[in-house]
Amino acid sequence: MGDEGVRIIALLLVIGGPVVLAIILLMNRHNLARQKYDKINQALESGRSPEEVERMIAIME
Protein backbone atom coordinates (compact mmCIF):
# COMPACT_ATOMS: atom_id res chain seq x y z
CA MET A 1 0.00 0.00 0.00
CA GLY A 2 2.99 2.31 0.09
CA ASP A 3 2.86 3.73 -3.42
CA GLU A 4 -0.92 3.41 -3.78
CA GLY A 5 -1.48 5.12 -0.43
CA VAL A 6 0.58 8.09 -1.49
CA ARG A 7 -1.38 8.36 -4.73
CA ILE A 8 -4.70 8.24 -2.90
CA ILE A 9 -3.62 10.88 -0.39
CA ALA A 10 -2.31 13.12 -3.18
CA LEU A 11 -5.56 12.72 -5.11
CA LEU A 12 -7.61 13.59 -2.03
CA LEU A 13 -5.51 16.69 -1.38
CA VAL A 14 -5.64 17.86 -5.00
CA ILE A 15 -9.41 17.47 -5.25
CA GLY A 16 -10.44 18.02 -1.65
CA GLY A 17 -8.22 21.01 -0.92
CA PRO A 18 -9.88 23.45 -3.32
CA VAL A 19 -13.33 22.19 -2.33
CA VAL A 20 -12.60 22.84 1.35
CA LEU A 21 -11.20 26.27 0.49
CA ALA A 22 -14.31 27.15 -1.53
CA ILE A 23 -16.57 26.05 1.35
CA ILE A 24 -14.61 28.19 3.81
CA LEU A 25 -14.80 31.22 1.52
CA LEU A 26 -18.54 30.81 0.98
CA MET A 27 -19.15 30.44 4.72
CA ASN A 28 -17.11 33.58 5.40
CA ARG A 29 -19.04 35.57 2.77
CA HIS A 30 -22.33 34.37 4.25
CA ASN A 31 -21.28 35.32 7.78
CA LEU A 32 -20.23 38.81 6.67
CA ALA A 33 -23.55 39.34 4.89
CA ARG A 34 -25.44 38.16 7.96
CA GLN A 35 -23.46 40.52 10.20
CA LYS A 36 -24.23 43.40 7.85
CA TYR A 37 -27.92 42.54 7.87
CA ASP A 38 -27.93 42.34 11.68
CA LYS A 39 -26.28 45.75 12.00
CA ILE A 40 -28.77 47.30 9.58
CA ASN A 41 -31.65 45.71 11.47
CA GLN A 42 -30.32 46.98 14.81
CA ALA A 43 -29.91 50.49 13.41
CA LEU A 44 -33.49 50.52 12.11
CA GLU A 45 -34.85 49.16 15.39
CA SER A 46 -32.97 51.83 17.35
CA GLY A 47 -34.84 54.52 15.44
CA ARG A 48 -32.29 55.62 12.88
CA SER A 49 -33.65 57.05 9.67
CA PRO A 50 -33.29 55.18 6.38
CA GLU A 51 -30.89 57.90 5.16
CA GLU A 52 -28.60 57.27 8.14
CA VAL A 53 -28.75 53.54 7.50
CA GLU A 54 -27.84 54.08 3.84
CA ARG A 55 -24.80 56.14 4.92
CA MET A 56 -23.81 53.35 7.32
CA ILE A 57 -24.05 50.80 4.50
CA ALA A 58 -21.88 52.97 2.27
CA ILE A 59 -19.26 53.26 5.02
CA MET A 60 -19.26 49.49 5.66
CA GLU A 61 -18.70 48.75 1.98
pLDDT in tens, the chain (61 residues): 578 889 999 988 999 999 999 999 999 999 999 998 898 899 889 998 888 888 888 887 7
The answer to whether 39 touches 56, Cβ cutoff 8 Å, is yes
Question: What was the pLDDT predicted at 60?
Answer: 73
Quick count: other Cβ atoms within 10 Å of Cβ 46?
Answer: 8
How many CA atoms lie within 13 Å of 8's alpha carbon, on the beta-carbon side?
5
Domain range summary for the chain, segments of one domain joined by +: 19-60
Q: Can you say how many angstroms the Cα of residue 2 is from the centroid of all Cα atoms in its chain?
A: 38
